[in-house]
Structure 1
């Protein structure tokens, strides 16, 4: 059996790009054995092989690969738009810029989860790229209102977040987090919806909601008190406490912590064994364990998203975000 591997958040998009060129070997969403950990070097190697294909995948595919590579290694497009006469670089810039920011990331991960739910894999793994797991949402979204206005944008964002979290609640297979470094925001809150979470000892876990004038999401207002106890969950969700990997494990958010030097080797060896277990047995067992609270989780998700929309439109939230940018500019 295979394990569906999703890197959080940007590396996932690299894998999806490589799938566009069907003749391209090496990296796939469904991986087994030694191929379980796809590296950036492998991506570069695969990218070079595009040039040797007998059937050229076309400019559209190659531009998509370029854009997703830039998005994964540098983040959302931040460079100035090239001159209209610079046709090649203008096309590359437009492809990269079209990926947008947070909403695109959410859509890509939802599509990947939908695919993994239907494919032949036994379990699904989320991990990060490099030394970090996830840095959270891009707060610059608050400064990019767009023509629809702040109220409509907030409602749209709330609806997107609700759909996004629902994909975790409804995911039918074992969902495993491989936390390779610091994690912030929604990447932390959804861990309460994972079945197993393995972490390097260098990871930290931070949910700075009240600090930014916001409120919990990812069903964490329900899962965190259930996992940690109310008092400890309050420290994390209300008072922005940053947990070390050891503390997160002690509180039950993390299943097991590994030394960073052996983390990848030990975890992927274990996951390779898990991926060989009968997939139907794993899926049905998970559904028995989680099924009893799915209705509650969906209700919590809806309530959290509704409250967040209110928060995003509030004066104290906007003040907190502006203070964040002001402090950041002074660093």
Structure 2
């Protein structure tokens, strides 16, 4: 691509990048990627359907889990068109508005996922600290308000990002380093000062992922303090066991995120393949693993899914 002026952003296009060094093998690589998408979308959709269909699962813990499943389906659906388009058809070109839309949805659903994980840590704290008033504190209206609040916060924080990017001039080759559009990639493209965009992006990261992770740690410090106050060892074990699935979900979400951040700062000169794989792990692994974790560790979810399939067989 040659140099561009900024006369018409409607005509501006960007080019995505596949998996560096493995372009000849994209056809074979599409199989594991498509399998991950199927597992993520079907697995999380089954959890949502099971919670909706089984009245025994209409409890705060499972309602929050259903919210988490919604965000993970959202992240998967947001990245699927461009990732599979590149692997299947080598379709690298995407118009600028489409790229901004994808960026907005990826970051919004990721922000929502972080917020839901925080809400789930609060849910576990209430369940252990005050089990007798658990359902009285986390009523359905309050859970709905928490879900709407998380959604509103995420949309409000992410909305300025595409708006600010739209105002900047683009006058050089517009090639991104991933198979999807991310804010950290897009702010490298304008031929103008992007300091405001960078500051805003950092502020959003600190106000969402940074604050959420800190509050999750505080929640688990309080949970641990409460558990240590339980007299019986069996009671402590049961209390902690109710947190295992959520702890796994938090680790699956935040460890790859921290890994990506460290790679961008401490290993700038590492192979592009390494950066691409780390970013892919951050976006693809949590939606795949979380439904598996909760299905394996939570008997009620397994029973709900089994009931869902048995009801469908009866209808057939």
> Normalising by structure 1, what TM-score?
0.27
> Normalising by structure 2, what TM-score?
0.27
Structure exhibiting the larger radius of gyration computed from Cα positions: 2
Q: Which has the higher helix share?
A: 2
